[in-house]
Amino acid sequence: SYQSWQGELKAATDLRFGRVVVTPSMSLFSKDARSYQNLLDGAANSNWTDWGAKIGIDTTVEISDRALLGFRGSVGTAYRAVSFAQGATADFTSSEASAIGRPFLAASEVNLIWKPQAWQTIKAYAGIQFDSRVPNSPDPYAIDPSTAGAVTFQTVQSFYFGGSFKLEYGSDAATRF
């Protein structure tokens, strides 16, 4: 089983410069993820908790009456506590490893929003995320508890992209943009 939660407290303000809106922000965040796996030869558990702060900027440029181009970025750091535990059912052996890290976190995104009609919105976006201290377990499948060692950290970059199509309805949908 897997369970996670995250929360963020963010302060931001919009600064308008003609067709450009710049939104600087500061935020405090917390994330927690827990995984419990029962396998044929044993079990494995992992816990990962972050508490941190980041600053960001979101810029939107109105390129026409129906299109917006956006750029978003943030940098921050966190207190990260991680633990892995594993055990084998055959010989009742178990091991546990934990570590604390202070990662550097960064993210950037570009997006395009187009409104062919006042009640239609099409959005496309792409971004990259960077984390300097992602935890790694020597034996993530709990096959052999004797191979468990110290939790190590690795640098990870992840890329994403996507899009959405939104239709609005109601008495004021035709007057919005």
Centre a 10 Å sphere on the Cβ of residue 97 and count the other Cβ atoms it contains: 18
Say what the pLDDT of residue 168 is.
Answer: 87
pLDDT of residue 102: 95
Q: What is the pTM of this model?
A: 0.79
Mean pLDDT of 156-176: 83
Residues with Cβ within 8 Å of 38's Cβ and at least 6 positions away in sequence, in order, are: none
The per-residue pLDDT for 158 is 97
Residue 91 — very low, low, confident or very high, per pLDDT cuts 50/70/90? Answer: low
pLDDT of 2 higher than 90: no
Confidence at 99, pLDDT banded by 50, 70, 90 = confident
Average pLDDT of every residue of the chain: 87
